[in-house]
Amino acid sequence: MRKNILITGASTGLGEGMAREWAAKGCNLALCARRADKLEALQRELQQAHPHIRVLVRGLDVCDYDQVFEVFRGFRDELGSLDRVVVNAGIGSSQPIGRGHFAANRHTAETNFIAAIAQSEAAMEIFREQNSGHLVLMSSVSGVRGFRGPLNVYAATKAAVASLAEGLQLDTKGKPINVSNIMPGYILTDINRDTKNAPFRVDLETGVKALVKAIESEKRRAYVPWWPWTPLSYVLKSLPFGIFARAM
């Protein structure tokens, strides 16, 4: 079992949910996010419920790239090793291209993709030194095809994360380092709580349990929940552009 697990974006939503699941399984946790106050509250909760595990927390803005390396190495030094790193931090907002929202779209791109590169760099340096580890990149089913309007840039960042994961899988093939690309569908969090069009959305507890199961399988790619997103993803990929445009 992967004992020491680092999760970014761990103060809310999927990150917080995964932390609770792995704490219950007896894993030591290294949790980071921008909201240090929420992390500290989560730390107290988990340590009280599971006194036999270690829960370390540090504030981190993943767009502070130098800090990413410092925080990851600090966690590694405190725990002695890192067995799994979950690159989970991200934001869900983006805006239609050409409507005067470049700053917002740049921020989405930097948070979801450039920061994912920094986190992957920091994790892979540690894993290469250890000659072991499991890197988990959180993409999205929206990365399967391009999306119109407000989802355009967000979907593009998730496609880029998926491509990054596959490239790292090629780099680590045959080595004791695994890389997983996790592609969730709609799981109820604050990011999509007010989204009117959220097909097949599941509640947070159901989604998190499916996420943890998929991550622990250490497959190269996993859609979460498996049904209906795995077969649906293949349909989306194969649709001719004209039909896809009408459907979306």
Residues 9-38 pLDDT 10s: 999 999 999 999 999 999 999 999 999 999
Residues 227-248 pLDDT 10s: 999 999 999 999 999 988 888 7
**Run of H or E including 57:** strand 55-59
pLDDT at 194 > cutoff 60? no
Domain containing residue 58: CATH number: 3.40.50.720
Separation in Å, CA 39 to CA 46, 58, 59, 132 = 10, 8, 8, 27
The tally of domains found in the chain comes to 1
Residues 45-79 pLDDT 10s: 999 999 999 999 999 999 999 999 999 999 999 99
Active site residues: 154
Range of the domain at 110: 4-247
